[in-house]
């Protein structure tokens, strides 16, 4: 995408202006989105994002700029503008030749060319199946998102790395209605790969899932509020770990001492039943990468083992500021963002228990079958996340569905209250927003039991 001689000239300019390190991130993203509403094609959109980001590091400070232009003079001007505040005399420059980075290629669903009419037919099939789930289904919205992000990374240490990253996701939501009562439910699986991911999905299962889920929520009573034990089911339930702990283990927060865990490495920060991992190397998963956005091979990183904090997620700036080793976790939404340490596929490892055992252990609690998203305040560790589909549990048995529940707490407290971990780990795709933009991530967990958490409801 970018002429290597131009990249070398930009890096030379940066180093000769006194930068300790510099890198160039080149991105071309080809996008095709197809959306479906009221049993008809709503929009078909395609396009190309293209841009180049230049980063200069002086000591522990970074300067970042971007442009849509791949012209040498524009990139040199950008570099000079960035360095204007910090430039210092040096006789250094970039005189090396680029070495192609070697890294294992992480597997992906086949990215084959598929005619648009076949995709339209697939969405039409899913629309029909969802509408067949009952009279309560009033509307179905489906969108198919496909893009291929091609990246090139050049740095002043001579690294040259490139990756083509295919992504595919289908977002399906159903609106349910009965008189004045209305609600909605969604299912949004995604993967690293192309359209063959969609071909492998069980459309009947998705339709039945949405039909049951929206019916349950439509007729559920409001969730009673108060402190209770909660069993959070597998898959997207992993958003609890993502919000309550994962963000606090990114050096983006740790380097500012804005994380309650910044000085807790090698200490017990969670219940001994809990072990957790962030792994960018799993084939086909939505948050997997062969290289991170600094060109480093991605890794499997053990975050917590039997309750003890073992590692943080670290990028180059994080390493400079904290001394922790880089973990191939530098990520960004696009060339418009400098990289930052971010999660990839983050999950709680499987434990010994069956879901039924977890539910049976509650006298008066909530079984959160399906979770919505959440957020965290890294400085205080205060998090919240929404329960989409929940059930009241009395004396170890599911009593009735409830809606409108939110779980809130503090990360450092809640990690110590995950006391039972189930045996069937599942993953789910999501988008995570933070300092370097919105990126694809996977959350995951087996069912877990939280001994005591504040459930907000009515």
Burial class from Cβ neighbours inside 10 Å (0-12, 13-18, 19+) for residue 7 reads buried
414-443 binders of other proteins (CB under 8 A): none
Closest distance of CB 100 from other proteins, Å? 26
Max intra-chain CA distance, the chain: 76
186-225 binders of other proteins (CB under 8 A): 217, 222-223, 225
78-117 binders of other proteins (CB under 8 A): 78, 81-82, 84-85, 116-117
Pairing of strands 418-421, 382-394: unpaired
Answer for which of 105, 110, 221, 226 binds other proteins (CB under 8 A) is: 226
Integer Cα distance of 14 and 16 in angstroms: 6
286-325 binders of other proteins (CB under 8 A): none
Interacting span for other proteins (CB under 8 A) from 77-85, 93-101, 265-273, 290-298 = 77-85
Identify which of residues 27 and 278 has a Cβ nearer to other proteins in the complex.
Answer: 27
Residues 6+ apart with CB under 8 A from 225: 455, 456, 457, 458
For residue 171, the cross-strand partners are 143
Nearest to 176 by CA among 229, 213, 126, 121: 213
65 counts as binding other proteins under rule CB under 8 A: yes
Nearest to 421 by CA among 247, 241, 187: 241
Answer for which of 232, 291, 338, 441 binds other proteins (CB under 8 A) is: 338
Beta strands in 280-413 (DSSP E): 300-305, 308-309, 330-331, 340-341, 345-348, 364-377, 382-394, 397-403, 405-410
The pattern of x and - marking residues 13 through 42 that bind other proteins according to CB under 8 A reads ------------------------xx-xxx
Identify which of residues 96 and 454 has a Cβ nearer to other proteins in the complex.
Answer: 454
Closest distance of CB 283 from other proteins, Å? 29
Interacting span for other proteins (CB under 8 A) from 94-102, 253-261, 390-398, 420-428 = 253-261
Site size toward other proteins (CB under 8 A) is 74
458 counts as binding other proteins under rule CB under 8 A: yes
Question: What stretch of H or E contains 139?
Answer: strand 137-155
Identify which of residues 105 and 181 has a Cβ nearer to other proteins in the complex.
Answer: 181
HSE-up of residue 144 (Cα within 13 Å, Cβ side):
26
């Amino acid at each position: 995408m970018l002429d290597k001689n131009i990249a070398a000239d930009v890096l030379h300019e940066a180093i000769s202006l006194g930068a300790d390190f510099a890198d160039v991130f080149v991105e071309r993203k080809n996008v095709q989105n197809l959306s479906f509403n009221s049993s008809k094609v709503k929009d078909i959109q395609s396009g190309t994002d293209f841009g180049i980001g230049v980063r200069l590091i002086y000591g522990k400070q970074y300067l970042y700029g971007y442009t849509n232009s791949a012209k040498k003079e524009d990139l040199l001007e950008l570099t000079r503008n960035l360095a204007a505040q910090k430039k210092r005399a040096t006789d250094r420059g970039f005189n090396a030749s680029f070495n192609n980075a070697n890294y294992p290629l992480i597997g992906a669903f086949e990215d084959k060319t598929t005619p648009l009419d076949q995709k339209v037919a697939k969405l039409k099939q899913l629309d029909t199946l969802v509408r067949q789930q009952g009279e309560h289904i009033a509307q179905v919205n489906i969108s198919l998102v496909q893009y291929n992000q091609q990246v090139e990374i050049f740095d002043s240490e001579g690294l040259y790395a490139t990756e083509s990253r295919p992504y595919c996701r289908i977002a399906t939501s159903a609106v349910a209605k009965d008189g004045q009562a209305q609600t909605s439910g969604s299912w949004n699986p995604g993967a690293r790969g192309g359209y063959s991911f969609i071909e492998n999905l069980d459309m009947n299962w998705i339709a039945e899932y949405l039909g049951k889920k929206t019916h349950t929520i439509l007729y559920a009573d409001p969730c009673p509020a108060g402190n209770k034990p909660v069993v959070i089911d597998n898959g997207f339930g992993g958003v609890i770990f993502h919000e309550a702990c994962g963000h606090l283990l990114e050096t983006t927060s740790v380097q500012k001492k804005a994380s309650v865990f910044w000085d807790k490495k090698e200490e017990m920060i969670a219940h001994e039943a809990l072990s957790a991992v962030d792994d960018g190397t799993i084939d086909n998963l939505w948050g997997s990468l062969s290289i991170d956005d600094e060109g480093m091979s991605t890794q499997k990183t053990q975050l917590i083992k039997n309750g003890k904090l073992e590692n943080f997620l670290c990028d180059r700036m994080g390493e400079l500021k904290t001394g922790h080793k880089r973990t191939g976790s530098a990520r960004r939404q696009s060339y418009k963002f400098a990289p930052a340490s971010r999660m990839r596929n983050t999950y709680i490892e499987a434990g010994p228990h069956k879901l039924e055992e977890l539910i049976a252990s509650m006298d008066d609690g909530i079984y959160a079958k399906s979770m919505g998203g959440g957020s965290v305040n890294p400085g205080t560790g205060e998090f919240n996340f929404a329960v989409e589909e929940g059930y009241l549990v009395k004396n170890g048995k599911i009593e009735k569905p409830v809606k409108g529940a939110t779980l809130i707490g503090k990360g450092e407290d809640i990690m110590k209250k995950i006391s039972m971990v189930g045996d069937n780990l599942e993953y789910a795709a999501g988008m995570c927003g933070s300092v370097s933009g919105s990126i694809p991530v996977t959350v995951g967990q087996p069912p877990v039991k939280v001994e005591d958490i504040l459930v907000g409801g009515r």
